[in-house]
Each structure stands twice: as structure tokens, then as C-alpha cells.
Amino acid sequence: MPVEVIDETGRCPHVRELSIVLATLLAEVGDRGDEATLVIVDDPAIAGMNERDRGVEGPTDVLSYPLHEPTDVGHPRTPHLGDVIVSIDTASEQARASGHTLPVELVTLAAHGLMHLLGHDHQTEEDWGAFRTAQARAVAILGAQAGE
């Protein structure tokens, strides 16, 4: 599967659905053969990564760890783009606050992370367009998969 989902919490019953949705999205927005990993963690785990890697205390919703950067000139591009880390605790809170389901929040956050793995960033309002499009597409794929 082009997107492996690893649930380190044992609390995510949506692993298979997430993998299918994200593989479909990656096939649409990435290059042929691209792969990625989504790792579901809890708030303490993502808080540790956030502080260690970004110098920011506390949990966050999503982190991306690309295996290569667009500036890696001369380095071969590998099919595996990298890892997206999502906190199921923060995703659950955000889903409740937004009035939608946990799977919707998880695919939204994972799609956001995938865009970072593909080299996108959101420094300007214009940059956010690609993220919003990918996130909305992930939710649409999830809905189609569920027969909605």
C-alpha cells in the first residue's frame, strides 16, 4: 500500500480507511510510485517530537518529516516521501470542536502533512490554496468510500 498507517496508540479503528483515502489522494497529487507513512500517536508523544524538533512546547495536531527537501540538489529522490505524525488526542478535540467525525479530522490533518512531504508550504494566503484543496479532496474521498 502506498500509504502505510501505523496506530501507535491502539485507539484508531480507522486504519484501513485512512490508508485507502490517503493512497488515493497521493496518487492524485503526487508522482507515480510515491509512498508515505502516517503514524497515529497521542499528545505526550507528539509533544515530545514538537519540542525536540521544532523547539515548541506542548502537543500539536500534525508534524511532517520529509525524507528529502526540494533543496536537496544532487540527492536521489526516493519513492518514500517521509512520515506524517498525527495526534489522535488533538484530532479528537478538533473534531468535536468543529462538529465533524474523527475520521474526517484525521484525513484532513494527514492530507495537510502529505502536502508538506510533497514540498508545499503555507507562508502566504495563496500557498494555503493547495492545502485546502487537498484536505477537501481527502474528505470527499472518505465520503465516497463510506457511500455518502
By DSSP bridging, strand 3-7 and strand 62-66 are: unpaired
What confidence tier does 70 reach under pLDDT thresholds 50, 70, 90?
A: low
pLDDT band at 71 (very low <50, low <70, confident <90, very high): low
Counted domains in the chain? 1
pLDDT per residue as tens digits for the range 73-99? 667 778 899 999 999 999 999 999 999
Residue 58's domain spans which residues? 3-145
CATH number, domain at 19? 3.40.390.30
- In tens, the pLDDT along 27-44 reads 999 888 999 999 999 999
**Cell numbers 479528537 label which residue?**
92
Could you report the per-residue pLDDT of 111-145, keeping only the tens digit for each?
Answer: 999 999 998 999 888 889 999 999 999 999 999 98
At residue 142, the pLDDT reads 96
> What integer pLDDT is reported at residue 32 of this predicted model?
85
* Structure-derived torsion over alpha carbons of residues 74, 49, 130, 141, reported in degrees to the nearest 10: 110
Question: Which pLDDT belongs to residue 110?
Answer: 98
Exposed e or buried b for every residue in 28-61, given b needs 16+ CB within 10 A? ebbeeebbbbbbbbebebbbebbeeeeeeeebbb
